[in-house]
Amino acid sequence: MDGDSQVIPDIPKGNVIFAVPKKGRLYEQCMKLLLGAGLDHIRPPRLDIAECKGLPVTLVFLPAHDIATYVGEGNVDLGITGYDVLQESGEGDNVETVMELGFGKCRLCVQAPVTSAIKDVSVLAGKRIVTSFPHLTKKFFDQFGDDKETKIKYVSGSVEAACGLGLADAVVDLVETGTTMKAAGLEVVAEVVASQTVLIANKSTPHRQLVERITRRIEGHITAERYLMISYNVSLENLSAAQAITPGKRSPTVTQLQEEGWYAVQALIEKKKSSDIMDQLSEVGATDILLFALQNSRM
Ligand SMILES: Nc1ncnc2c1ncn2[C@@H]1O[C@H](COP(=O)(O)OP(=O)(O)OP(=O)(O)O)[C@@H](O)[C@H]1O
Ligand SMILES: O=P(O)(O)OC[C@H]1O[C@H](OP(=O)(O)OP(=O)(O)O)[C@H](O)[C@@H]1O
């Protein structure tokens, strides 16, 4: 891959080119992630390109739906987009999924009007389907054989409106909470693919070391967001019960206190389980239970 892009000029030679969504659903969380990973940058007004401070990384802001194609074709080294977009792009052979990022979770589903009461998705083979994911949709309906050629039409957004407007018998669209689907009088008939946001890299990037460094930074930030450090004191007789509640990522740190028969324990715990864990520790006799946020981490 050629480091100096033909797509956007003025990219310093040797820089990693990292594509992130320029707007839409994933934008805010991607910006938070970049900041947390120390990829500080200033984006000049109206420009879709920014240099990172202190690292040879150029950010390019692109539509989420195009990012897998750029990474697959090698114009860009690294990218953040939905797993659904990666699958739709057909670039799986050229792109490595480096890491799942834990947000943007949704399901690409075949949806039909509730009034049609379709339970078996195969009855939609050969019918009119509207979607923003035509390749995945074709692949899905191909399982029912070539004889029933399903008529797949692409629209760029508001897919849920297609049945009500008479353009489609069913749609293939994303579902998260189901609010959009229900409001349009649709229901899920089948799941095509489950998705979340992923960090992807071109398999032949010449910047492997820098890509790995950025990956470790993002991983460190995600761990710091997902975990808390808990610390407590516990007597020897209750130590093993308490340790079983807080096994830590590898193992808890156990230190003997000056007071005979008492120990201080520190361990990482999942943020979402922290209240339950504190209750359980208290129940097995732990005292002085404290929780600390992590600023950042490297595992
Ligand atoms: N409701 C949702 N919940 C969770 N993730 C979603 C949802 N809708 C979309 N996504 C994820 O975000 C990605 C980008 O979707 P989005 O609708 O923001 O597209 P866009 O092209 O970036 O923006 P826009 O539609 O505003 O042009 C999707 O491919 C999917 O992975
Ligand atoms: O299950 P829900 O929580 O309702 O989310 C699903 C909706 O979110 C996305 O659309 P978005 O709002 O991004 O707009 P779009 O239709 O223009 O893509 C997706 O295409 C669905 O329509």
| Domain ranges across the chain | 16-103+196-206, 106-195, 227-293
User: In this structure, which residue's CA is closest to atom 4 in ligand 1?
Assistant: 104
Residue 149 vs residues 54, 127, 152, 241: alpha-carbon distances, Å? 54, 8, 9, 62
Q: Length of the chain in residues, anyone?
A: 299
pTM comes to: 0.89
Bridge partners (DSSP) of residue 186 are 113
Distance from Cα 132 to the centre of ligand 1, integer Å: 11
CA-based R_g, the chain, Å? 24
CATH 3.40.190.10 assigned to domain 16-103+196-206? The reply is yes
User: In this structure, which residue's CA is closest to atom 13 in ligand 2?
Assistant: 25
Ligand 1 atom having least distance to the Cα of 83: 31
Distance from Cα 258 to the centre of ligand 1, integer Å: 56
Q: Compute mean pLDDT per 10 residues along the chain, 299 residues long, and list them.
A: 50 91 95 95 88 94 97 96 98 96 97 97 96 97 85 97 98 98 98 98 96 95 95 98 96 96 98 98 98 92
CATH 3.30.70.120 assigned to domain 227-293? The reply is yes
Residue 199 vs residues 75, 82, 98, 121: alpha-carbon distances, Å? 16, 9, 5, 32
Q: Residue 159 CA: which ligand is closest?
A: 2
Question: Is the fold of 16-103+196-206 the same as that of 106-195?
Answer: yes
User: In this structure, which residue's CA is closest to atom 25 in ligand 1?
Assistant: 24
Residues with CB under 6 A from ligand 2: 25, 157-160, 173-181
Quick one: 106-195 is in which CATH superfamily? Answer: Periplasmic binding protein-like II (3.40.190.10)
User: In this structure, which residue's CA is closest to atom 16 in ligand 2?
Assistant: 158
Ligand 1 neighbour 24 (Cβ under 6 A): yes
